[in-house]
Structures are given as structure tokens and as C-alpha cells.
Structure 1
Amino acid sequence: MVSESYAVCVYCSASVDDSVALDLATRVGDEIGRRGWQLVSGGGNVSMMGAVAQAARAAGAKTIGVIPKKLVHREVADTDADELIVTDTMRERKQVMDDRADAFLTLPGGIGTLEEFFETWTGAYLGVHAKPVVVLDPQDHYRGLFEWIEELRLRGFAGREAVDRVLVTKDFDTAFAALRPSR
């Protein structure tokens, strides 16, 4: 992939109104801009998705929003994005996001966030891409999920290599260090 600068795709909620989650999204967007990176997001301007994009832009980052036509009004399309790509389908949206990103960061979210995360994680494990996959979870939003995944590993349904392909951390600095590993 050729890009102006390093691009991080952030998966997160487009529906929650939790102040702690919104503060985390704002902090993430600010850090992306502070580092001179680009943000690739789901193209919505609501909830955490909107907060991360607004903060990234305020900190000087280029923002690339990718949203399917069907969600333009539901997620209130981020018309302030430096580049807003409207796709025909969700599958096309995810492919564009995957293609435009150099790394993936998952923040708290629901079913849609999980679906995007799992597809990205599976692609990394299967060798479809070699991009960093990180989950920043300071409030234990995903604790039960990763306990269950560890149980799957112990029962032989997921190998250690697959589980180790994603970094799950509560620590902000650790997450950002893993997003751009030293080369």
C-alpha cells in the first residue's frame, strides 16, 4: 500500500453515549494526529466513531471515512472527513478500510465492531495481511470475550499462534507502540 503517511483503522461504537468510552475515542484520535498518522474509520460522525474522527482532525490528522450508502443517514456520514468514500455494501466498505490501513485498533464496541475485528484478526492469522491488530481495552469491555477465547484455545479450538496474533491491552502507550512496531 502506498500512502501519504501511516494509516490506522479504528473500529469502535457508533451508538454508545458513555462518557468514558467517548473520552477514550477522543484520546485515540488526538494521539493519531499527534503522531502524524492518518485515520481510517467507518465514516460515521456519531458516538465513538465521530469522536475519534473529530479529535484526529483537530490534531492535524487526515481522516478517511468509509461508509456504505445504507448507513449514510443512520450513522450521520462524516462529511467533514478529508476523504469520504461511500460504498455500495458493507463488504466493500471493509475491503476499502482494509486496503487503506497499515494497522488496526479496536476500541469498545458492539456486534458491528466485533465483526470487523474478527475478520481483521482472522485475516492476520491466515496470512492475508501482516498488519498489526490491537485491542485497547482499559475498562475490561472485552474481558469476557477474551476469557472465552482462552477457553477455546485450551480446548483445542484455537491455537496459541492465532491467539497471539492480536495484542489485547489496557495500556494506551502499549497499544500505540504495537500499532507501529519498530522496523
Structure 2
Amino acid sequence: MRIGVFCGGTVGHNPQFTAATHDLAVELANRRIGIVFGGARIGLMGVLADSALAVGGDIIGVIPHWLRDREIVHERVPQMHVVGGLAERKQVMARFSDAFLALPGGVGTMDELFEMCTWNKLGLQHKPCGLLNVDGFYDELAAFLTRVRTAGFLPENTSDLVTVSPDIHHLVGALVATAPPTYSPGPIPPVTAGPGG
């Protein structure tokens, strides 16, 4: 099994973000769960990759060529896929992943996570999504998702759209428990050119 991890290209101001990223990498390695990530050596992405490699974890990177050309690709990740743009990066990460987890991050992290949630909602894939709520980082987002549901913009049967937890062990366990029993790529939408492509 592999979990796609979305996280920031910076480490943020809270040292708990870095600590949680390291702990997540160790947790996944201990469970023999592979990581799929954005391929960069900077920010929380770099912390995730360095921590996984340090404990012998399985990790796959997916990075757009124009980011590789800026010399931020993580050179020590043994399996690195270079793609055309951000849309293709999400597609390739989705093909390799059985579930998805977002660490603290910015609008790019949210874009990645919510696209996976949207594909689930539309039935294009059935892969659970989670938010690691480090030091309350996602409290307001969790409240927003509840408001979206109660306002009628999400059906009640999508209450499990995103699992939110501050506990790494619990969150990974929840994703594993609800992931498809066998990996299947599913009908991923076609690549469309965007600002990053």
C-alpha cells in the first residue's frame, strides 16, 4: 500500500509541523506503507523524504520538469517521476496512491487534497483522504467542511469525505482501514494544460 502525502514546500513557522512530518514518515515506514510525494527536497516535502530514507522507507517522488530544472528535486529519492505540469503531477500521484493525507501546507496542498476529494465524490476513484491536524492547523477547515455539509453542498453520505485527526497513528489506521483492498488506478481525468503545465 502507498499513501500520497501532500505538504508544504516550506516548513512553516511552527516546529511541530516538522516534527509531525518526521513522525509520519517513521510511522509509515514501520507499517511498511509506501509514500508518494511531490518530489522536492525543500520544505516539509524534503523533511518527509529525508525522514523516510533515514529509516528505510519506500518513497516515490513526482515532480514537474520546471521544478526539477530549478534544482529543487530530491536527488536521493530512488524513484522519481518527472512530469509536464501540476495537473499531471496530481494524476500520477493518484495512480500510485491508495489513500491521501495532507500535512500542514498552503494553497497548493489544499488544491491537491481537494482534487482527490472531488474525484472521490464524483466516483472517479475510491481512495480515502485525511488531514493531519497538527497543533490545530486545520481546525477552521474542519469547521468549514461541516458548514458546507449542513448548508447542503455535500450530501450527508459524504460525511467521510475527509478524516481529520491530530493523531498520526489513528489517522493512518483510519486510512488503511478504508482504502480499497487492492490497488486499482481507476479512470483518472485527462490532463489539461494549466498555469503550471
TM-score (normalised: structure 1) = 0.90
Task: Report if aligned partners of 2:17, 2:134 keep a CA contact under 8 Å in 1.
Answer: no
CA distance in 2, matches of 1:16, 1:50: 9
CA contact (8 A) 1:7 1:38 kept: yes
Moved more, 106-115 or 67-76: 67-76
What is the deviation of 1:76? 1.1
2:3 counterpart residue number: 8
Tell me the equivalent position of 2:84: 88
- The residue that corresponds to 1:34 in the other structure is 30
| 152 and 132 in structure 1: CA distance in 2 versus 1, 3 angstrom threshold | closer
Determine if the alignment matches structure 1 residue 172 to structure 2 residue 157: no
- Contact 2:6–2:102 (8 Å) recurs in 1: yes
Q: Deviations over 1:145-178 (max 9, x none)?
A: 2212222222212222224222111122210101
> Which one of the candidate residues 64, 69, 72 is aligned to 2:68?
72
Deviation larger for 106-115 or 172-181: 172-181
Q: Is the 8 A contact 1:46 1:75 kept in 2?
A: no
Superposition deviation, residue 75 in structure 1: 7.2
Partner residue in 2 for 1:117:
113
Separation (CA, whole Å) in 2 of partners of 1:47 and 1:71: 14
What is the aligned partner in structure 2 of residue 137 from structure 1?
133
Contact 1:9/1:39, CA 8 A, preserved across alignment: yes
Cα distance in 2, alignment partners of residues 111 and 103 from structure 1: 20
Gaps of 5+ in 2: 182-197
| Aligned-pair CA distance for 1:129 | 1.3
- In the other structure, the counterpart of 1:128 is 124
CA distance in 2, matches of 1:73, 1:29: 26
Matched, 1:59 2:55: yes
Consecutive unaligned residues of structure 1, counting only runs of 5 or more, are 1-5
Distance 1:103 1:139, change over 3 A: same
Percent of residue pairs identical: 33
In the alignment of these two chains, the number of paired residues is 178
In 2, the alpha carbon distance for the partners of 1:170 and 1:74 equals: 34
Q: Cα RMSD between the aligned structures?
A: 1.6
1:89-129 deviation digits (Å, cap 9, x = unpaired): 11111111000011111111100000000001111122211
Distance in 1 separating the partners of 2:28 and 2:52: 6
Query: Where has structure 1 moved over 4 Å in runs of 4 or more?
Result: none
2:155 equivalent to 1:159: yes
Aligned twin of 1:3: none
Rate the CA distance shift 1:148–1:75 in 2: closer, same or farther, 3 A.
farther
**Greater length-normalized contact order (CA 8 Å, ≥ 6 residues apart):** 2
- Give the conservation status (yes or no) of the 8 Å contact 1:34–1:60: no
